[in-house]
Amino acid sequence: MTGSDTAAARTARRSLVIWLAVCAAGAGLVLLAAGRTWVTAVYGSELGQIGSGRVDLTGGDLVAWLTPAAPAALAATVAVLATRGLARRVIGVTIALFGVAIAAAAWEGTREQTIADAAREHITTALVSTGSYAIEGQAWPAVAAAGGLILVAGGVATALRGGRWPGMSGRYDRPGGGSRTAAGGGGKTGERAMWDALDEGIDPTSS
């Protein structure tokens, strides 16, 4: 491998590591935001009526698909490391779609009707009897939306540039596309050469 090839491989590996960290951070932001209070519904005597109470509604309470979308996007991010070519690009598109769904969930969770429906489900019959409540907003929907947009950008980057990144088995590949084992072992002997041969479907006992 020439010096330029080595530099290109190092750059591609660094790009992949940065991409992985950014996508993991995006999914982490979503997961964090989904478990935090987005709105607090206050009802009853605090509004001058009979009965009293308040309930915190998380992002997951408001939008059911928000919480599972984050680990699913993270799993897709990890799957990029084990794929190449078209499969990697398809996973990139999937990550972007998860990001779009998360951003949509962040918007959905701020809609008045969504909040009202979730409040009626979680506040018990006291809210139904009084028929009135107040909402205290939080900033977590913006955090979830930011995480979703990060995932959209990461997915698009994978679809466009993912073919240049190394895979999990990239360290075993020769610059010309052949493996070291298939090219005569590349100086490997003993147990390492045997395992490399088995990984490539070659029976090491047949020679």
Q: For each of the chain's 207 residues, which pLDDT tens digit applies?
A: 565 667 777 888 888 899 999 999 999 999 999 999 998 877 665 445 445 577 788 999 999 999 999 999 999 999 998 888 889 999 999 999 999 999 999 999 988 888 888 887 776 644 544 445 566 677 899 999 999 999 999 999 999 988 778 766 544 444 444 444 444 444 445 566 655 655 555 555 555
State the pLDDT at residue 4: 62
State both tokens at 169: 């088995």
State the pLDDT at residue 170: 44
Contact between 54 and 41 (Cβ < 8 Å): yes
| CA distances, 148 to each of 18, 114, 138 (Å) | 17, 19, 18
Question: Tokens 């429906």 appear where?
Answer: 117
Q: Any bridge partners for residue 41, and if so which?
A: 55, 135
State the pLDDT at residue 8: 73
State the pLDDT at residue 156: 95
State the pLDDT at residue 178: 45
Eight-class DSSP state of 47? G
Smallest Cα–Cα separation from 91: which of 156, 15, 147, 26? 156
Contact between 52 and 44 (Cβ < 8 Å): yes
Smallest Cα–Cα separation from 174: which of 13, 14, 15, 9? 9
Q: Round to whole Å and give the CA distance between 121 and 128.
A: 10
Q: What does the H/E/C string look like for 158-200?
A: HHHHHHHCCCCCHHHECCCCCECCCCCHHHCCHHHHHHHHHHC
Q: What is the CA radius of gyration of the chain?
A: 25
State the pLDDT at residue 136: 67
